[in-house]
Amino acid sequence: MGSSAPRSLSASSASSRKAFKPKAKFTADDDDLLLELKENKKLSWKQIAEHFEGRTAGALQVRYCTKLKGRSLHWSLEDINALHEALEEYEEERWIIVSQKMGSKFTASICRDKFNELSGHGANNNNNSNTTNRKLF
């Protein structure tokens, strides 16, 4: 058994690697075409890639899923109301979590009210107390 020398990257193997070339940014026309092919024509990612020079199916899928999916969705009044309700519920739940972290001494509403008072969002604050309270943060 001979000792094996550490392998190093030879010049020929290094040059055979593809040089990194950043792709051009997606244009608005690229995005529109991608949405059309995926959502309206229901093409596969492989089929979609055939319409884009120098872009892989994977790159197009990532673009669609992270930036475009849902962009063309229609928001009904019911959807918007559900969003508002979900945010209101989240707002209440976050104060419950805050109060739990504070211990049993403070309720969710007491924590919320005190935070609003200190941050200048309280209903009965005057300008002088707002300035003083903001310095606490």
Q: Mean per-residue pLDDT for 3-32?
A: 67
What residues have CB less than 8 Å from 58, skipping those under 6 apart? 45
Interatomic CA distance for residues 48 and 35, integer angstroms = 10
Q: Is the pLDDT of residue 31 over 50?
A: yes
Q: Mean per-residue pLDDT for 80-86?
A: 95
Confidence of residue 134 (pLDDT cuts 50, 70, 90): very low
99-111 tens-digit pLDDT: 999 988 999 999 9
Q: Mean per-residue pLDDT for 15-35?
A: 79
Q: Is the pLDDT of residue 84 over 80?
A: yes
Domain boundaries, the chain: 26-73, 77-134
Per-residue confidence (pLDDT) for residue 71, from 0 to 100: 72
Per-residue confidence (pLDDT) for residue 55, from 0 to 100: 92
Q: How far is CA 54 from CA 7, 24, 27, 34, 117, in A?
A: 33, 9, 14, 14, 56
CB 37 within 8 A of CB 60: no
Between 8 and 122, name the one with better pLDDT.
Answer: 122
Confidence of residue 82 (pLDDT cuts 50, 70, 90): very high
Mean pLDDT of the chain: 79
* CATH code assigned to 26-73: 1.10.10
DSSP codes of every residue in the chain: -PPPPPP---HHHHHHSPPP-PPPPPPHHHHHHHHIIIIIS---HHHHHTTSTT--HHHHHHHIIIIITTTT----HHHHHHHHHHHHHHHHHHHHHHHHHH-TTS-HHHHHHHHHHHTT--TT--HHHHHHHHTT-
Per-residue confidence (pLDDT) for residue 16, from 0 to 100: 53
